[in-house]
Structure 1
């Protein structure tokens, strides 16, 4: 039996925490943040991964990158966690909830198609319990209508659809590392960016409107970063 909600422990955690403290870098974007991002980029074959403070923060960033305006419509499943819905509400977008496939408890692709209007800008799907949505049908729909796709893959870390990692199909994928998820850091998340045109703006949004990430890479001087 696999017990629920017991964080996995490998035995090296205290050693790593001591090393982070010794590096005087415990606020993030230190040695272990970089290792984790790089590991996920290589493991999931995604061009950019940004670590976040939660899966909710990853969803908020993804929606901000969509440039939604008041009156734009976002299609999402009627059965999901609240963060899937609160993220687009920050942009004052209109939520369009659609029904599920009762076999999987995931969003029904045909209901997505029926809900599309000329105001639809974004589709958010959620892979419930690590079970993939029907990505073949969903990708056909979003490409046909030129829509942005966000994957709420909070429960889908290490899960896949036809050999491709969940979170790497749409424009953005969002992972959670909350204590109830497959892999836990207590609180934490990750934004997967599948289109490099979003990279720089995502870094700026993540750094509260600054280009601090470029400073950390040595690309700008500390007295000139914006």
Structure 2
């Protein structure tokens, strides 16, 4: 580490122990990066970050297992409230535009695919720690369309509605599930159709899947 260089303290959050071990080995191979802890769930990551105050949390987007109630995007929101000085870099196998946009809107400072080069990971972590945004080149490409036409991105509520549509729920059932009126659900559907460029429920689901907004696998 060169004289005057700043050490970046990193917390790794991923539900796979082998992945965490691999990330730790990569990060600790860099003189200025130090792993201060590991978390196996979004909730654990929020609690540990709030308690220990790392510079950056390297956060998986989607957690599995019995504690999968909080995904990475929700964990970012919680961190913004409970540990506002901590930057978050998302590390994930999902690079669809909707996932990227939701993570950045939640407050993430970086987004790097797991299949990317280690240098992209290091660059994103350092950028986030310095208060900048670190995005892999392919992620920047995903964002171009969103920047050009941000009005076409579904809101979090609209995404919930189209997800329930995909599960086969009618307007009344959706209203009950989300504690909304049927009229509000209909309004959401009109907006969803307009943003996705479709005019019916099956087409909305199909287009949402194509854009990476929904993952039905």
Q: Which bracket does the TM-score occupy, shorter chain normalised?
A: 0.3 to 0.5
What is the TM-score when the length of structure 1 is the normalising length?
0.37
More helix by share: 2
What is the TM-score when the length of structure 2 is the normalising length?
0.38
